[in-house]
Amino acid sequence: MRVLGIDCGTEYTGYGVVELCHDGTLVCCTCGAIKLSARDPMPARLATIFDRLAAIIEEHHPDNVAIEDVFYALNVKSALKLGQVRGVAMLAASSAGLDVSEYAPLSIKSAVVGYGKAEKQQVQHMVTRLLNLAEPPESADAADALAIAICHLHTAATLERQRAVGK
C-alpha cells in the first residue's frame, strides 16, 4: 500500500509518499514542502497547492491520501485559511479518485512516537528511523507529512488484522 500524507499549511504544505512493502518495511518514495508566497493572493496559493499535489499524485500513484484533522485554533482567520488549504488538498485527492482519511494530531504522534504530545523534533527523529533515512527530511512539514502517511499505514494494518480475526 502506498499513501500520500499531507501536512496542510498556508505558508508551507508538506507532502510525503510512503509505501508499506510486503515484508512490513516502510519506504519513503518522496517528500518535501510546497512553499507559498504570502504576497500571492489566496486563490493563487490554493491553485499552486492543487497543481503540485495533483502532479505528486500522478507521478507516485498513491492508493490513499491522509491529512491531519482540524485542530483547535485561537485565530479564526488562520483557521479559515487552513480550512481552505485542507479543502484543496481533499479536492486534489478526490479528483484523482482517491479516498481521504483524516487523523488527529494526537493520533499521528502516538502512531509514530508512541506519545501524543511529542515535540516536532521527536516526530522528525522517529520518521527518520522508521523510514531508515540517511538524514532527517529537510523540513518539519515534510516530516509531519511522512508521519501522517505512516499513521495511516499503521491504522490500515491494524484494521486489516482486526477484520481477519473477526472472520
Alpha-carbon span 3 to 116, nearest angstrom: 21
Q: 146: domain CATH number?
A: 3.30.420.10
Structurally, the chain folds into a number of domains equal to: 1
Q: Which domain does 154 fall in, by range?
A: 2-166
Cite the beta strand spans of the chain per DSSP E: 2-7, 12-20, 26-35, 64-68, 99-103
Banded model confidence at residue 106, pLDDT cuts 50, 70, 90: very high
Q: What is the pLDDT of residue 152?
A: 96
In this model, does residue 111 exceed pLDDT 70? yes
Amino acid (one-letter) located at 129:
R
- pTM tops 0.85: yes
Cα-flanking dihedrals φ and ψ of residue 18, to 5°?
A: -125, 135
Alpha-carbon span 153 to 115, nearest angstrom: 17
Catalytic positions, please? 7, 68, 141
Neighbours of 80 (CB within 10 A): 12
In this model, does residue 165 exceed pLDDT 80? no
Alpha-carbon span 50 to 8, nearest angstrom: 12
Banded model confidence at residue 76, pLDDT cuts 50, 70, 90: confident
Alpha-carbon span 127 to 92, nearest angstrom: 25
Mean pLDDT of the residues in the chain: 92
* Residue of 21, 14, 7, 5 whose CA lies nearest to 157: 21
Alpha-carbon span 104 to 40, nearest angstrom: 29
Banded model confidence at residue 77, pLDDT cuts 50, 70, 90: confident
More confident site: 10 or 72: 10
Banded model confidence at residue 148, pLDDT cuts 50, 70, 90: very high
Banded model confidence at residue 72, pLDDT cuts 50, 70, 90: low
CA distances from 108 to 44, 70, 103, 129, 155 (A): 30, 13, 6, 16, 10
